[in-house]
Amino acid sequence: MVRKILVSQPKPSSDKSPYFEMEKEYGVELVFRPFIKVEGLSSKEFRQQKISILNYSAVVFTSRHAIDNYFNLAKEMRLEIPETMKYFCVTETIALYIQKYVQYRKRKVFFGKTGKIDDLLPTMVKHKGERYLVPMSDVHDDTVKKLLDSKKLTHAECVMYRTVSNDFTEEEVKTFDYDMCIFFSPSGINAFKNTFGDTMNGKVVVGTFGPATAKAAHDAGLEVKVEAPTQQFPSMTSALNEFLKKNK
């Protein structure tokens, strides 16, 4: 029986999160503890890529991490981002986050609806004269590069931040008493396996979000009981709720 669940994400800021509703309804305890964390590159590390931020007239943001590290690096290198800079974001939520650093102006901030770079391409093509910079994590593929190449856009990709393990303390390892763990990335699976090896196989069931995470969990020999997204359960909370309902 599942009584205590470790969710490898930060604790939701809203009290109305479906996670808290599940705690009340099914009498389970949910603990939020990220297995990975994001850290920015230093200006010295960034300069090794021989990319000059101010050589580009537009930036493509795929996450809040990209925004934070873009502006943090600019500040560290004492660069003043011109007011003419244009920002292209994969969602409106990410676009609104820019207000943390610059005044939001509709004429220079553009966003897509689906969260995918494909949805943003038509808007970028309308601004074909721009030179696009795409800040990325150290873990990425060539998907974005190929898409921008296909539209003959002038662009460059650069690494501004990396994902690292948020290591468990000795005390956390000793007192580990969870019945289920929820993972959202292959990196989270790797961090878990690096800490516990195969000692948790068969003792803990897991839930995974995304096909790559599910594959990593299966490859690691973990007992996957919940997978999302699916057509029926598009979110982790909906999939977990169904699992708990069936197993209460």
- Whether residue 134 is contained in a domain is answered as yes
| pLDDT for residue 144 | 92
**pTM, entire model:** 0.69
Q: What is the pLDDT of residue 135?
A: 97
Whether 117 and 78 share a structural domain: yes
DSSP 93-117: HHHHHGGGTS---TTTEEE-SSSSH
pLDDT for the residue numbered 241: 96
Residues 106 and 129 in one domain: yes
70 and 159 co-located in one domain:
yes
Compute the residue count for the chain. 248
pLDDT at 166 (0 to 100): 83
Whether residue 183 contacts residue 219, with contact meaning beta carbons closer than 8 Å, is answered with no
Give strand pairing partners of 224. 206
d(CA 77, CA 166): 27
**Per-run averaged pLDDT (10 residues), the chain, 248 residues:** 93 89 96 90 96 97 94 96 94 91 87 86 96 92 92 96 84 92 91 89 93 93 94 92 92
CATH of the domain at 122: 3.40.50.10090
User: Which two tokens mark 219?
Assistant: 């490859």
Containing domain of residue 54, as a range?
A: 39-163
Q: How far is CA 213 from the centre of its chain?
A: 12
Q: Has residue 233 been placed in a domain?
A: no
Count of the separate structural domains present in the chain: 2
In this prediction, residue 141 carries a pLDDT of 83
Are 159 and 172 found together in one domain? no
Q: Identify the burial level of 207 via C-beta atoms within 10 angstroms of its C-beta, where 0-12 means exposed, 13-18 middle and 19 or more buried.
A: buried
- Residues 79 and 139 placed together within one structural domain of the fold: yes
Q: What is the pLDDT of residues 11-48, one digit of tens each?
A: 988 888 999 999 999 999 999 999 888 899 999 999 99
8 Å CB contact between 132 and 60: yes
